[in-house]
């Protein structure tokens, strides 16, 4: 990290070099966010195969699957065989010029390779070493591997997800993986400030357990205060009502009537002002106790018109409301483009494809990385040369299969 001319506010990490040894989702989410903030993120991949997400069953372009592409745009790929002395030696030389290293191996794996944080801080005392694990690096379960489904189950998220009286379900998204990646990026940024102030590197740690358990704020508040923790509530809120989805003629709409003023507005819009004096619904506590009756009444009142009809009326009245959209509807909505959550990025075949953008703006702007996700080993020679390897050294590493360099794609 050098004191260069300040980068534009929407690329605050320009000039920061990240070695990403992490794969699949949690670690690559962190790397994607850092790349979108301007960092030079170099994926250090195994071979053959590379990041396991390259093999997931999803249609892609130019030999790169969409499941890999979506989390790895804007990065460069170097393929290194870390099971060999030569491969590990090459990585250590890269570490000497890096600012950040991320990894998501089981605890102890990197130490066994001589690549743990203590080892690498001897080479580069300013290095920010970021580990994403399953259960954390300490405690009785520290050695276990981490998987999104398993940690959501372990941390209680699945127990409170689903419809009342039915089996629990996993949320349709990878909450543990994605949030762990966000927390890792946050930790890296905190450590970066520390390095700038002191010159001392840090070992940043987070886990899928921590990323899952963090989501329990409302339920933890009830549990730690000695109250009953509700189980599956469908889309309902554990401490507020009405605050869930209801059925219209063409689908469902989400309503937020958590406070008295919004509840009063809802009763006016749906044509039932008398509900305000109904003892079942007259207070927030009463509405929580009689949630089933409240849901039945609201469903009956909303069933005669479309989502758009009710959204317009409720929004005009100042009530938080929005349709339950499909993924296609959400990603196609003009608001997604307006806030840069859908951006056009290059694909490996030279085309363009919409992808998820950077969910942060700086003074109203951002500049997410838009170059194509790399093919395995696409930038090996380039990265090694920039790290000071001679042509002969690079040739020797490639010939000995300690690293892999693929032929450049046409037009790249």
pLDDT digits (tens, 9 = 90+) for 82-115: 999 999 999 999 999 999 999 999 999 999 999 9
Does 237 fall in a domain? no
Neighbours of 134 (CB within 10 A): 24
Residue 139 and residue 71 in one domain: yes
Residue 399: pLDDT band (50, 70, 90) is very high
What residues have CB less than 8 Å from 303, skipping those under 6 apart? 247, 248, 249
Strands 76-80 and 40-45: parallel
Give the per-residue pLDDT at 409: 60
Does 2 fall in a domain? no
Does 175 fall in a domain? yes
> Which among 121, 120, 119, 147 is positioned nearest to 133, based on CA atoms?
147
Q: What is the DSSP letter of 228?
A: P
Residue 114 and residue 247 in one domain: no
**Catalytic residues, which ones?**
177
Residue 190 and residue 313 in one domain: no
Range of the domain at 286: 243-329
CATH of the domain at 105: 3.40.50.10540
Residue 168 and residue 313 in one domain: no
CATH of the domain at 319: 3.30.1540.10
Residue 3: pLDDT band (50, 70, 90) is very low
Residue 163 and residue 276 in one domain: no
Cα(98)–Cα(126) distance, integer angstroms? 9
Give the per-residue pLDDT at 61: 81
Who wins on pLDDT, 306 or 7? 306
Q: Provide the token pair at 403.
A: 């690293």
Count: domains in the chain: 2
Residue 209 and residue 249 in one domain: no
SS3 180: helix
Cα(141)–Cα(335) distance, integer angstroms? 43
Does residue 385 contact residue 409 with C-beta atoms inside 8 Å?
no
Whole-prediction pTM: 0.92
Query: What does the pLDDT average to over 3-28?
Result: 83
The pLDDT tens digits for 51-90 are 999 999 777 888 899 999 999 999 999 999 999 999 999 9
């Amino acid at each position: 990290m050098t004191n260069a001319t300040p980068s534009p506010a929407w690329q605050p990490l320009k000039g920061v070099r990240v070695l990403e040894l992490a794969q699949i989702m949690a670690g690559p989410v962190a790397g994607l966010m850092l790349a979108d903030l301007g960092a030079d993120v170099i994926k250090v991949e195994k071979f053959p195969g590379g990041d396991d997400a390259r093999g997931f069953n999803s249609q892609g372009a130019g030999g790169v699957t969409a499941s890999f592409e979506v989390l790895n745009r804007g990065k460069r790929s170097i393929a290194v065989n870390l099971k060999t002395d030569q491969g590990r030696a090459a990585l250590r030389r890269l570490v000497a010029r890096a600012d950040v290293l991320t990894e998501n191996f089981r605890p102890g794996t990197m130490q066994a390779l001589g690549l743990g944080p203590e080892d690498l801080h001897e080479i580069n005392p300013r290095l920010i070493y970021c580990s994403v694990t399953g259960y954390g690096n300490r405690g009785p379960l520290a050695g276990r591997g981490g998987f999104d489904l398993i940690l959501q189950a372990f941390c209680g998220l699945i127990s409170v997800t689903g419809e009342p009286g039915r089996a629990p379900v996993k949320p349709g998204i990878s909450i543990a993986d994605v949030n762990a990646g966000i927390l890792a990026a946050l930790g890296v940024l905190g450590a970066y400030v520390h390095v700038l102030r002191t010159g001392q590197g840090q070992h940043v740690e987070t886990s899928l357990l921590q990323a899952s358990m963090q989501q329990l704020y409302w339920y933890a508040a009830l549990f730690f205060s000695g109250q009953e923790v509700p189980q599956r509530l469908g889309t309902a809120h554990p401490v507020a009502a009405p605050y869930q989805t209801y059925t219209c003629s063409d689908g469902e709409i989400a309503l937020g009537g958590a406070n008295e003023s919004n509840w009063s507005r809802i009763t006016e819009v749906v044509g039932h002002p008398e509900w305000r004096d109904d003892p079942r619904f007259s207070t927030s506590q009463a509405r929580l106790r009689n949630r089933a009756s409240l849901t039945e009444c609201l469903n009956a009142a909303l069933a005669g018109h479309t989502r758009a009809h009710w959204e317009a009326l409720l929004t005009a009245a100042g009530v938080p409301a929005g349709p339950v959209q499909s993924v296609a509807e959400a990603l196609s909505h003009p608001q997604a483009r307006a806030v840069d959550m859908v951006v056009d990025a290059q694909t490996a075949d030279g085309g363009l494809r919409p992808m998820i953008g950077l969910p942060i703006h700086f003074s109203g702007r951002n500049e997410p990385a838009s170059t194509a996700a790399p093919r395995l080993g696409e930038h090996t020679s380039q990265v090694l040369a920039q790290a000071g390897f001679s042509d002969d050294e690079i040739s020797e590493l490639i010939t000995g299969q300690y690293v892999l360099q693929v032929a450049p794609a046409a037009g790249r």
